[in-house]
Chains A and B, each alone.
Chain A
């Protein structure tokens, strides 16, 4: 079996002492930062992106895989004990997990989240192992027109999912795409939107954008609501961390169902983690034998969504690795990490960088085990972490944010850019414009333009190529449906509207 031998090689690389250490470090670092309130996985990865300048590509991606998963595990702790979802996908966890913690069952909630994440993470990594190469060989045959259509579909679904007002989401998206235009056009060498500033010729540094939009904007937002909002008090953890027999009996099916929902939806180039998580929550609510507990701390409502969330997170790697399309803010950060090494994920990645890809996948398995072993015993420590003085915490975040951005090019210009994006992110968040489409637009803009122009070149300048090729037309129609559908449903009538709202997530902090 080809896949297995590749995977074996990946494990051989991943088991080198350095990479094991990096995987461990990534997991600890990821959970540590992920636990901190206000820091979701996207911000966690954004803050730690500068580490790419320190380690080799394979090592860095092993590290980031750890951070990626660690941020997720850590996020569930914050959701359960603080009632703060680090990102949209952990909203269901707060709905059931926090009431459980209030009822003194926080230990069981944390355990089912951690073990469920492990089960889902491992199963879905297995999925990535086999689906990745398969997708990759399909992706090789995708023509520019279809590629462009797929990108449009990814934009449309991300915008539709995160925004309760798609028009505002679209505004963010187009602004992000415009930001991606800044710099020298790669095909003609023409400078665009650089205003003669040489620092802008290479485009705006994506790390500066990410750190600004997430970390600095978060600090400004904290400052703005300073006296209005008291520090969140983490619930004391009563009882032991672990599950009773009954908890196990009620958890294992939701774990598997969550995985079954999360992995395939995450793997679509239009998925993301929000939809499967909310689907899983609704599914468990429907299937449960204890409907009276829902909303008051039903363990199924933690087990299912957490599993779906983690499974989707691994699923998201499929379009990321095979098409170079991230479908969540966190995946965008991973794409930036790839690009910092001049590695462009895409159909060729599995052939040109087999060591990198397979070591990454192997380290996902390792990361899941490490996190399971690490997370449960360390929960008391995380709880202590939640009690850190908020002003010191924010100050520390800003120190690391500025350090990371400065370290990029050792130039204060990037810091100024990050600061500007901090202000932009703060203002957008205050006025209800989602940030995820903006980040996605800025990250994917250049690739979208390349595919767009290639398609037109192949069609000899015929602009109708996108709608006359059947596959491209179908994908674009889907994209339009994803955007317009929810609007129509909302307009229809009260009951349809409420149902749409049912699945429309709130926007928590970092992956709005």
Chain B
């Protein structure tokens, strides 16, 4: 249940894997706490590894780089969240959001290691094998021009390349030889909420299906308001108006002025 328990600790944390001891401590600490301090500690160790001409001033910049990499932090919001003081983040952690469990429970599967990297690695391997298999099925025309190697050679090369790299990648993932990668996945699992993602996908799929039937500006206005709502806007009336204005403006600009046909919809509520 708790990350602090040694049982839960990831196997690779315990295995030596070429890390120096004090490294591992920091690594573990970061894996457990996931607090800002934990991450900073790790950053500083990465720093310590150079053990060279680093001055104290360098360290701040260095820490941030290490931090960023650890958290695989690419989202603007998250970056700010990280930038805040540890206190901020802790406060944030304490409040359960939308009743979705997070923290230690949400991201500690039985093996103590996140599943996502291994699933992704297997998916890549499957894609590689499929591409390779389909490449063999490409018919080579009897009348290949001159000495052209035909349409099959390059796909075979790509399929083989993907299969081989994906296999290496899968072996690495299953061995857990990249703890930073696991840590990133754990962090992602901790912060991810699937509900808004699913809602957004359903909305977009609905948009794709209904666009030509209901018409461009009608569906687009709804899309705008719906996306805004899913992402947390609580002023749906205003959003719908903004969406309508935006949709009508783009419709007029593209369809009427630039001559790029946009579907008016079969219900023909023409302008």
Contact = CB atoms under 8 A, between A and B. Distances in A.
B119 to A, nearest CB: 8
Contact of A171 (B124, B204, B250, B260): B124
Given A95-B65, A228-B97, A427-B120, A84 B76 contact: yes
A295 B60 contact: yes
Interface string B1-20: 00000000000000000101
A410 B262 CA distance: 7
B104 to A, nearest CB: 15
B69 interface: yes
B80 A430 contact: no
Interface in A265-299: 285, 291-296
B192 A187 contact: no
Chain B at the A interface: mostly helix, strand, loop or mixed?
Answer: helix
Contacts of B68: 91, 506
Interface of B: 18, 20, 23, 46-47, 49-52, 55, 57-62, 64-66, 68-69, 72-81, 83, 92, 97-98, 116-117, 120, 124, 127-128, 131, 134, 138-141, 144-151, 153-155, 157-159, 161-162, 165-166, 168-169, 172, 178, 180-181, 184-185, 188, 190-194, 196-197, 199-201, 204-205, 207-209, 211-212, 216, 220, 223-225, 227-233, 239, 242-243, 246-247, 250, 254, 258, 260-263
B182 to A, nearest CB: 10
A396 interface: yes
Chain A at the B interface: mostly helix, strand, loop or mixed?
Answer: helix
Contacts of A223: 193, 196-197, 199-200, 230-231
B232 A171 contact: no
Contacts of A181: 154-155, 158
A430 B188 CA distance: 6
B72 A507 contact: yes
Interface in A405-449: 406-407, 410, 412, 415-416, 419, 422-423, 426-433, 445, 448-449
B77 A231 contact: yes
Interface residues of A, number: 105
Contacts of A225: 75, 77-78, 191-193
A230 B77 contact: yes
A389 interface: yes
Contact of A54 (B69, B149, B216, B258): B258
B134 A228 contact: no
Given A231-B80, A426-B197, 5 more contacts: A171-B124, A187-B145, A219-B200, A294-B61, A295-B59
12 contacts: A171-B124, A171-B166, A174-B158, A222-B231, A227-B232, A231-B80, A295-B60, A390-B232, A392-B242, A394-B227, A431-B188, A501-B65
A6 interface: no
B238 to A, nearest CB: 9
Interface in A188-203: 188-190, 192-193
A379 to B, nearest CB: 19
Q: B120, B181, B229 — which one has the most chain A CB atoms within 10 A of its CB?
A: B120
Nearest to B225: A395
Interface string A232-251: 11000000000000000000
Interface of A: 37-38, 53-54, 78, 82-84, 91, 95-96, 164-165, 167-168, 170-171, 174-175, 177-178, 181, 185, 187-190, 192-193, 216, 219-233, 285, 291-296, 301, 389-392, 394-396, 398-400, 402-403, 406-407, 410, 412, 415-416, 419, 422-423, 426-433, 445, 448-449, 452-453, 456-457, 460-461, 491, 494-495, 497-499, 501-502, 504, 506-509, 512
Contacts of B196: 223-224, 226
A193 B162 CA distance: 16
B154 A453 contact: yes
Contacts of B64: 95, 295
B156 to A, nearest CB: 11
Nearest to B247: A399
Contacts of B242: 392
B75 A165 contact: no
Nearest 7 CB-CB pairs, A to B? Answer: A229-B77, A295-B60, A174-B162, A295-B61, A391-B231, A395-B227, A391-B233
Given A220-B197, A295-B57, A494-B51, A399 B246 contact: yes
Contacts of A406: 211, 216, 262
Contact of B98 (A216, A227, A395, A491): A227
Nearest to A37: B76
Given A167-B165, A394-B231, A507 B151 contact: no
A499 B58 contact: no
Contact of A190 (B141, B184, B225): B141
Given A229-B80, A457-B146, A501-B46, A431 B117 contact: yes
B185 A432 contact: yes
A175 B166 CA distance: 10
Nearest to A417: B208
B118 to A, nearest CB: 10
A398 B204 contact: yes
Contacts of A295: 57-62, 64
B46 A461 contact: no
B57 A403 contact: no
A48 B42 CA distance: 40
Q: A189, A295, A507, A509 — which one has the most chain B CB atoms within 10 A of its CB?
A: A295
B148 A188 contact: yes
